[in-house]
Chain A
Amino acid sequence: MLKIRNYIKVKSVAEAYELNQKKTACVLGGMVWLKMGNRNVSTAIDLSGLGLDTISETEEEFVIGCMTSLRDLEVNPALDAFSHGAVRESLRHIVGVQFRNCATVGGSIYGRYGFSDVLTMFLAMDTWVELYQGGIIPLAEFASMKKDRDILVNIIVKKTPVFCSYISQRNSETDFPVLTCAASLIGEDAVTVIGARPGRAMIVEDTRGIMKGFKKMTKKQREAAIRSFAEYAAQKVPVGGNMRASAEYRKLLVKVLTRRAWEAVGGMKNEY
């Protein structure tokens, strides 16, 4: 059971940071994951009074407050249009509407959970995180960092044009994913992200340059590149087994989902 000794609704991010320096303190997100554990929290820090639950949009970027609910992200028309529906697709299978009204994007991203659909999706866009002490750093860097006592304030998505597709495999609807995959053209760069391996989502480095220049390829060239890259991803991405699926099954999924996601981006298949 989760035990909390003190609850403080902070007046500023600075106050939250101060309080969070104690190892037994904990910043609250939506609590849907936190309350599942057996933790003794000395001070629960609530950021919900700081107005960090909104999505604002400028010419250059989206600024998403850490306390924005997953549901608000899902139904945001601007993000939906920008991501060609991928953001919505990455969220709509997560448990249920009630759950997504509670769960926060900051909680998902800060937690860097292996099962996170959200982390997979945001890694497939030009995403940065704004930390109170650490400043603004790329999400990919943040995702590979060890957890520290900093406060995640905003998630920033630069409006570098993306064309992306998101697919997850689940044993049953609304369950944790068995594997997640996002394929994205960020400007000219082809980025592939695999998550729920079951480890933390990672960008698949295209060291052989298989997908280089994907945007300018002919249909035939694209098909060949996708086939070859899907094989390569299956070899390269470390996967493991757990109660949901074996490592062997996940390895097969990496290949299939990578191919399908890229076929959707490349315009070969419209529906999956």
Chain B
Amino acid sequence: MNISFWLNGVCVSGEAEPDTLLLDFLRQKGCYSVKRGCETANCGLCTVLMDGKPVLSCSVLAVRAEGHKIITLEGMQKEAEEFGSFLADEGAEQCGFCNPGFIMNVFAMLKEIPDPTEEEIREYLSGNLCRCSGFVGQTRSILKFLQYKKAQKEGEE
């Protein structure tokens, strides 16, 4: 089946089988940040934004993306770099494999809850598994990133 949708702001099209998963289709299109971690819809590694909402691309048929707007980490390089430096500064990650899905969901969270509490952060990100760490560094980096963003905004005003 021929499908076309918006990928990181660019209209892409291609052939997909009825059972091709969005994850595999996106990788075929060169989005290697989208990864398969668990195969059981649990780990959050394959998270992409579909019309602004985070979804598991391992559980979405590619044909269902028809006409929708898909954003992967490749489409958020600038933002990812900014937040990524906070993750690095806190030593939050060791192997980094879970990083792309995690960052995508952090952005989704900040869009939905602009100023989340620690409890809200934990709840929103509970579907992103990291097997190296205990999420303490990640939580700390988000809180520091928020403080930085707030200070930046105040500076502008």
Contact = CB atoms under 8 A, between A and B. Distances in A.
A174 interface: yes
A123 to B, nearest CB: 25
Contacts, number: 78
Given A2-B19, A36-B40, A97 B59 contact: no
A96 B126 contact: yes
Nearest to A33: B41
Given A98-B56, A102-B55, A7 B41 contact: no
Contact of B59 (A4, A7, A31, A173): A31
Contacts of B64: 46, 48
Contacts of B58: 35
Interface string A25-45: 000101110011000010010
Nearest to B66: A9
A35 to B, nearest CB: 6
B40 A97 contact: no
Nearest first, the 7 A-B pairs at minimum CB distance are A96-B127, A7-B18, A4-B19, A4-B18, A98-B54, A32-B41, A32-B59
30 contacts: A4-B61, A5-B18, A7-B1, A31-B60, A31-B61, A32-B41, A32-B56, A32-B59, A35-B58, A36-B41, A41-B19, A44-B18, A44-B19, A44-B61, A71-B53, A95-B41, A96-B125, A97-B54, A97-B105, A97-B124, A97-B127, A98-B54, A98-B56, A98-B127, A99-B42, A99-B127, A101-B50, A102-B60, A174-B42, A174-B127
Interface of B: 1, 17-19, 21, 40-42, 44, 47, 50, 53-56, 58-61, 63-64, 105, 108-109, 123-128
Interface of A: 2-7, 9, 28, 30-32, 35-36, 41, 44, 46, 48, 71, 92, 95-99, 101-102, 173-174
